[in-house]
Structures are given as C-alpha cells and as structure tokens.
Structure 1
Amino acid sequence: MKKQAFSYLARVGFQKIIGFLLYLIGAGFTMTYAGIVYFVYLFLATIIICMILFKANEETLAERGKTNTDSPIWDKILLFAFWILNYFGVYLLAGMSENSEHLNAAYYSGIGLTLFAAWFSTKATLENTFLESTARIQRDRNQKVCTTGPYSVVRHPAYSALILNCIGLSLIFPYVSVWICMAITAVIIIIRTALEDSMLKDGLDGYFEYTKQTRYRLIPFIW
C-alpha cells in the first residue's frame, strides 16, 4: 500500500514539473518575477500537502493512483480532457502569453484563492477515504457516504476546490488564452459533477438521503 501511495505522489510531483517545463518552453526559457513566485509557491505547497496526505492516509492515496478502474466512459473522457488542460495546457498558454510583470492585487488574490482551494481539497481528501481520482461506485471497497467536514457544505468539495483554482489561475496569469482554458476546464468540472452526482444518487446507498441534508453540489446557495 505504501509503495502505491508513494507512486501516486511521485506522479503528482512529475505533473508539476512537466507543467513548469511547458511554461518555460512557452516563455522561451525566460521568467517574470510573477512566474517565479508562483512556481516556487506551487512546488512548496505541493510538497507540504503530499507530506500531510501521505502521513494521514496511505490507502486513499494508493486508490487515487489507480487509472484502470471500472469508471464509466464519460468519466474517462472528461478526466483526460481535464488532466490535459488543468495540468499542462494552462501553463504552456501562460508561458506563451507572459510579456510583462503583473505582481499586483489581482495576482496575489489569485495566489490566495489557489491556496484556499488547495486547503479545501486537502480537507476533503482527509475527510473522505473514498475520494478516488475516477468517478465510480466503489463496491469493492464497501463505499460509504461521507457527510462530515467539507461534505457538510457541498457534496463535491474537491470539485469546488478545482473551480476556485481555475479562478485563481485566471488571476495569476491574466491572459485571454488562460481565461479560455480555465473556462473550458470549469465547464468540464461542472459536467463531471452533474454526471457523478446522478450516478451516486442511483447507485450509492444513502446518497439520495444525503442530498436532502447537503443541498448544493459545488457552490453554496447556487448549485
């Protein structure tokens, strides 16, 4: 179990490195101070979060590392598109668009928003031991509904965190290409949330009752 968990965390780190390299390629191997601050923050936050998660629950990380699961075809398609845009495409586009410094209030607001998103997502992962990377009914793990922590606020807090991260990145890299990339990513997350929520209502015992307790999927008082 420990080996699988470590493998997943290593893959997360590798994704961040590839994203950084794509940013450098897009920027012609030059960096603004805004880019330096962001990527230093990103790597430090990733290391700290990985250490917390590894210490707290190796089993959840091991399960999140599985890519060959019985998730439906719509999940595989949406997850692949999200993965390409959110971890790679956005950084290549950001690098290609970088042409001046923008260490302003909007930039630091974006940093704060992505930091809050990372904290919220980490809380969700710590709270829900069934939070896998793919969307499926985990009958092999005797899945139970999680109703505590962030799950008492919204039904899909990890996806809420991803939406916040999209907004944060749009503030950190204030370019039209990044905005479009993050808008498409957010739409993918919303579609995936709707489909997964419907699947859980039909297939996971107790989930329909949970939807009466926690009414909102992603955004409190909105949806």
Structure 2
Amino acid sequence: MKVLWQALVSGFFGLVFFGVLLFLPAGTLNYWQAWVFIAVFMATTLVPNVYLAVRNPATLARRMHGGPTAETRPVQKVIITATFASVVVMTVVSALDHRFGWSHVPTAVVILGNVLVVVGLVLAQAVVLQNNFAGASIRVEQEQPLVSTGLYGAVRHPMYSGALIMMFGTPLALDSYWGVLVTALAVPILVVRILDEESLLRTELAGYPAYMDAVRYRLVPYVW
C-alpha cells in the first residue's frame, strides 16, 4: 500500500502545482476553465493510478520514478528539465491570457480541449496497461520484453502520442490560444527525447531494430 499513498501524495502536490501556476497568474479564483481542467486532469490520472496501486504496484512505481534525477543519460536530464520548464511556461501563459483577454476561446473549444486532455491521458494509461515496463525514465530493465502489438503496432511511442494530444488540449481547456503556441514551440523537445530514447533501445532492447523496420512511424501515423 506504500505506493498507493505515494500516488495520493503525488496527486495532492499535482493539485497544488496546477493551482499555484493557474490562479496566481490569473489573479482570481473565478477561472472556471482552470477548475474544470484540474478536475478532469485529477480524475483521469488518479483513478488509473489507484487501480495500478492495487493490481500492479510495480508498474505504478516505474511511472512515479521520474524527473531529471531518475534519468541515467545526461541528454535526458536536460530534456526532462526543459520539458518541465515548458509546462510551467505554457500554464502561466495560458492563465495570463485568460486574465488579460489576449485571445477569446469559445466554450465549445474549451470543452474540446478537455476532451483532448482526457483522450491523451487515457491513451497514455492504456500504454502502461499494455506495457508494464513503460516507465517515466529512459532505461531498459533486465528481461524487459519488446512490445510490438496493440498500440505499439500503430506507432513506436504511443505514450508520447498521448502526451502530445494532451499537450495541445491543455491550453485550449485553459481558455488560451497563446498557450497552444508555447506548446508548439516545445514539440522539438519531445522529438529529441524520442530520438535519443531510440538510440538506447536499438542497442539494449532485443529485437528493436527489426521492430523499427516493421513499424515505420514514431509518434503520428503517416506523419513521423
């Protein structure tokens, strides 16, 4: 049950994190888009985490072991730091956009943004259920199998595909088009992470070069 408590504590700090980054720049608690986003995000992550804590705590532990200090490759330490910074900037810019009315996002688009957040998070969680070794840091564990079916039969990095969908949905859910621009500028960070990860997998995960030949696309089918 230790990992369950860790997941609950992590969820609480995630709530505080988003609360500070959204409501302080917005200058008000009267920001319904932020409240809805936080509720959607917390529900979509907390429920699967509780399930994993009960049914597969080792998998959840891998997902919670992330951040710059968890990475063994120097380039990944930089990438994770840059990713965290881009999330902070996107969130703050979105809140400032709402505060000063730089862009006007219709309610229907805000709803669409929340739908994208849910789709992205559900996709990422589905990947974890399919591949129990899908951790938050880049490493190949002993006896780790190569997963090449299901979502991995469509793209080589379906978890990042889910993250990409969520990334673009978040600023829309937060009532901001300028936040979408920040997200677009952060996409190269994800690309570098994938390329470096594949350089590791080619050498350390048995069968990965053949898998790359069989599944051509990394992130988006028929695009890249």
Q: Could you tell me which residue of structure 2 aligns to residue 161 of structure 1? A: 162
The Cα shift of 1:201 comes to 1.3
Q: Are 1:144 and 2:145 an aligned pair?
A: yes
Q: Are 1:93 and 2:96 an aligned pair?
A: no
Matched position secondary structure for 1:175 = coil
Structure 2 CA distance for partners of 1:215 and 1:164, relative to 1, 3 Å: same
Q: 2:111 aligns with which of 105, 108, 111?
A: 108
Q: Could you tell me which residue of structure 1 aligns to residue 180 of structure 2? A: 179
Q: Could you tell me which residue of structure 2 aligns to residue 117 of structure 1? A: 120
Give the TM-score, by structure 1 length: 0.87
Structure 2 CA distance for partners of 1:176 and 1:37, relative to 1, 3 Å: closer
- Determine the C-alpha separation between the residues in 2 that align with 1:81 and 1:90: 12
Verify the 8 A CA contact 1:128 1:146 in the aligned structure 2.
yes
Matched position secondary structure for 1:182 = helix
- Determine the C-alpha separation between the residues in 1 that align with 2:187 and 2:55: 29
Q: Which amino acid aligns with 2:215?
A: T
Give the TM-score, by structure 2 length: 0.86
The Cα shift of 1:10 comes to 2.7
Structure 2 CA distance for partners of 1:6 and 1:185, relative to 1, 3 Å: farther
Q: Percent identity?
A: 23
Q: For residues 130-189 of structure 1, what are the alpha-carbon distances to aligned partners after superposition, in whole Å with 9 as ceiling and x for unaligned?
A: 111111232xx3222112321121111111111111111232235354123212332211
Matched position secondary structure for 1:145 = coil
The Cα shift of 1:102 comes to 4.1
Task: Give 1:11-22 correspondences, 5 Å limit.
Answer: 11-22=10-21
- Determine the C-alpha separation between the residues in 2 that align with 1:38 and 1:69: 28
Verify the 8 A CA contact 2:105 2:172 in the aligned structure 1.
no
- Determine the C-alpha separation between the residues in 2 that align with 1:187 and 1:107: 25
Runs (4+) of structure 1 exceeding 6 A deviation are: none
Structure 1 alignment gaps of length 5 or more: none
- Determine the C-alpha separation between the residues in 2 that align with 1:4 and 1:175: 35
Q: Are 1:134 and 2:137 an aligned pair?
A: yes
Verify the 8 A CA contact 1:64 1:133 in the aligned structure 2.
yes
